[in-house]
Amino acid sequence: MSDRLVGKRIFVTGAAQGIGLAVTQECLKQGAKLFVVDRDGELLRETVERLDADKGMLEYAEADISDASAIAAAMAQASEAIGPVNALINNAGINVFSAPLETTDEEWQRCFDVNLKGAWNCCKAVLPGMISAGGGAILNIASTHSFTIIPHTFPYPLAKHALLGLTKSLALEYAAAGVRVNALAPGYVETQKNIDYWNSFADPEKARAETLALHPGKRIATTTEIAKAAVFMISDECPFMNAACLVVDGGLSVLQHAV
């Protein structure tokens, strides 16, 4: 246990597994109080029980970030449970991958409702309190898909590009109010989502090996490596970092593959 986040009351979305779970664990280690949400209430309950945090340090509620009124209610509940929220980590997101002309309206809507509107719903719920308290920190978990395009992943990268736009826009609008808004862009991370993706191929092991081989270091990130970067960005150790996007991808997005 360390004290880099003592005094932080953090709302984390999509905390039941993956990056959100690792972020929750690392923030707890640094002395933060957390209120975590996930649309999978049962998995979230199991996760929170397993984490076995000290009393009052970790509270939770089932909530879907695409539902603005559910998020407003969860933010109010968070305020009651851990005190006014002064840090938000917009982590929950979903893969919606298709080819542009094969994408249905339902897929398009679902992608933007969760990956963009969901983050905005949480910002909208937290910003008034941060502004009246004189400041706060928001971190949006973006992706290398926020500035690159992998064919056949449409429309996910469009929403992630827009999430970066939301980050920059809110960062400038509320900088004078003391609110910092930044983005963290992981590349491939060892999560269930990626395991499911590799499992969708005829030879999952081969698909996984090919992903690893794409990377300069021949491996992908652990969720803890992403979470440690999130701790830094949400802490008071980088007070002038605003409207920034920190890329944590092992160098993948800089690498130009030989043709």
List residues with catalytic annotation: 156
Taking the least distance from each CB to ligand NAD, the nearer of 17 and 235 is 17
Geometric angle at alpha carbon 77, from 227 and 95, rounded to 5°:
45
Show the DSSP H helices in the chain as ranges: 18-29, 41-51, 68-82, 105-112, 118-133, 156-174, 192-199, 204-214, 223-234
Taking the least distance from each CB to ligand NAD, the nearer of 6 and 149 is 149
Provide the pairing of β-strand 154-155 with 97-98: antiparallel
- Residue 246 Cβ, how far from ligand NAD at the closest point, in Å? 12
Residues 24, 60: contact at Cβ < 8 Å?
A: no
- Residue 147 Cβ, how far from ligand NAD at the closest point, in Å? 12
Interface with ligand NAD (CB under 6 A)? 13-14, 16-20, 38-40, 64-66, 91-94, 114, 118, 141, 143, 186, 188-189, 191-194
On the question of a cis peptide bond just before residue 128, with omega within 30 degrees of 0, the verdict is no
User: Beta-carbon neighbour count of residue 203 at 10 Å?
Assistant: 10
- Residue 91 Cβ, how far from ligand NAD at the closest point, in Å? 5
- Residue 54 Cβ, how far from ligand NAD at the closest point, in Å? 23
Taking the least distance from each CB to ligand NAD, the nearer of 113 and 238 is 113
Taking the least distance from each CB to ligand NAD, the nearer of 104 and 192 is 192
Q: Tokens standing for 7?
A: 């005094």
Among 6, 53, 13, CA closest to 30: 6
